[in-house]
Structure 1
Amino acid sequence: MLISDEPGDIAIDHRGVIRSWPEAAAELFGHERSWAVGSAFAHLLLPPRLRDAELPPGVELDVAVLHADGREMRAALRVRPTEHGRAVAFRPLSSRTPPDAELYLRAARSAPLGEEPQRGGPGTGDEDLAERHRLLSELSQLRTEFIRVASHELRTPLTSIVTFATMLEADDGMTALSRADRQAALGVIRRNADRMQVLVADLLLLSRLETAEAPLDLAPLRIAELLDFPGVPLRAGPGPDLMGDRALLRELFHTAVEVAAIAGPAEVDAAFAGGRWRVVVSVENGSGLTAERLLSMRIPHPEQPEEYRTGALALMLGREIAARHGGAMLTSVDRPGVTVRVTLPVA
């Protein structure tokens, strides 16, 4: 029986079992109808990290799906409720790309400052939807800017490496280098290779945080110690120790302070309420700064004193570290100031 109202949709019953499988689905996902019908939709098409997620009804999203050959691919999906379950409209991605599903779901789970959404109060309805949309847009912008900047960051050292390696290979009298010049060229290659190693390590860290592959080295931590940075005023109220990974949390707060400090001298306030530490790093009277400029600025690397991260990469890592600890990190640029807010549960 075709449960969906639209013949082109995938129909799913209340148990999540596929009840109709159009020919277009077989062409896109590679599964024959005889195999797909009767299978659980989530286990057939979604990767393990998304199988427990609830895709919001009525919203078309860019979703990671599994092809019959085992590879992960992207498709646009829109779920809508029906009398007998749900219907899933689908299409291959094109130039009209919807929001990324995993970013959308993460935004939907996050309320302002990482607080739980209020029920029946001013934080619901249109205001709550507007806040989620704002956060989703910010995350999408951050990822887009990061991809652009990361491509530049990789291309620049690669260009230097290729250029000087080519010069070193030259053996004719016109382009051959002297011994001193050869040593200088080797130094340039080494520095740029080291730079690429740092960037690749940051990308691997981001991937491990997003997929929760790396376990946290949890220990009770005093908030004042985590927020102790030379020359940065700190006002910390009383509260319990924070359970977390010290190295990652220091990196998170280092990022918060350095991002805010781009606009001017930063100040840190920390308060405990409702089972969470709320940390606000702010610059009230800084130089004019736009969100676009912030994302492309260079932030001192927390572990490599002579290296830098772009604002986009630093903020993405900060967000993932906070999320890995069950919290959130939000950044706002309001001329002439910058504010970074971090919320973390104590356990």
Structure 2
Amino acid sequence: MSNEIIAVLGAGSWGTALANVAAENGHDVRLWSHRASQVAEINETHRNTKYLGDNPLNEGVVGVADMQAAVQDADIVLSVVPTKATREVAKQLVAALKNLDQSIILMAATKGLEPGTYKRVSEMLAEEVPAKYLRGLGVISGPSHAEGVITHDPTLVTAVSTDVAVAEKVQHALSNQVFRVYTNTDMIGSEIGGALKNVIAIGAGALESLGYDANAKAALFTRGLAEISRLGQAFGANPITFMGLSGVGDLFATATSVHSRNYRAGVQLGEGKKLADIIEHMGMVIEGISTTKVAHELAQKKHVEMPITSAIYRVLYENQDVKEAIQTLMGRPVSQEGK
């Protein structure tokens, strides 16, 4: 494995975990954060306690607060900031690349959709970063809780790009004995699967807190995945993608784990807590909340039937009681599976 210079933009849990994987593979890794105190902690204690507790980071992970210093001579840049910060950080990246007169492979590792525009994260980046600064554009997707990656729980993800050579370069840079990377060319399916599973995870958490068992959870997973696939195909996604790591794999991991913020938010909704209080006390971005609204609007725009997503939307944005939402779903007219 050749040594690469890899910059990771965003020192949340997932960005830090990806930086740690890259450093363990022997790469020169710069982890960018706009918080000077976080950068100091990473460099002085090799920890990122707010996001990953007392888990030690590889000493090859270097915290950097200056964007230009972070991306100088970088071969691969991973964008791992929240969806709502993607454009702002991309503008800072472009300013740095312009000063450096440099091009990069840019990979989005954020799972969300932009409110209002309905853009996927890779589309946002493509709009913000001029083509002359890009040697390739792609995404990293799949079932990958940062808390598991940092403790070497065997993890499988996909490096996705319409340019196979770009996906393969990222695959070789990040793969090791505990972090296995596959390649895929379906950007649309991978990103829609990665974003919308957060919506279903909120529902799964609510079911858990209300005491529902395996039958109800299996129903939610299966019909939720059908909704994700229907919407993805309406945008041209390959239906096979939703049977893979970016579909059923990511849905399972996110909708069954206490590591998932979306799942935990659902649990608290089921307990009767107010959404504003849940957001305030989580301390980290809950992507599924804004994604639910985007998915609900997209379903209407594309005339795609997504009753589970609509039910979760009503709970989040119209204050419908969770049990009432479940009763409404169960009372829908019966139909043929696959439709």
Give the structure with the larger strand fraction: 1
Q: Which has the larger radius of gyration?
A: 1
**Bigger relative contact order, structure 1 or 2 (CA pairs below 8 A, ≥6 apart):** 2
Using structure 2 for the length normalisation, give the TM-score. 0.29
Give the structure with the larger helix fraction: 2
Using structure 1 for the length normalisation, give the TM-score. 0.29
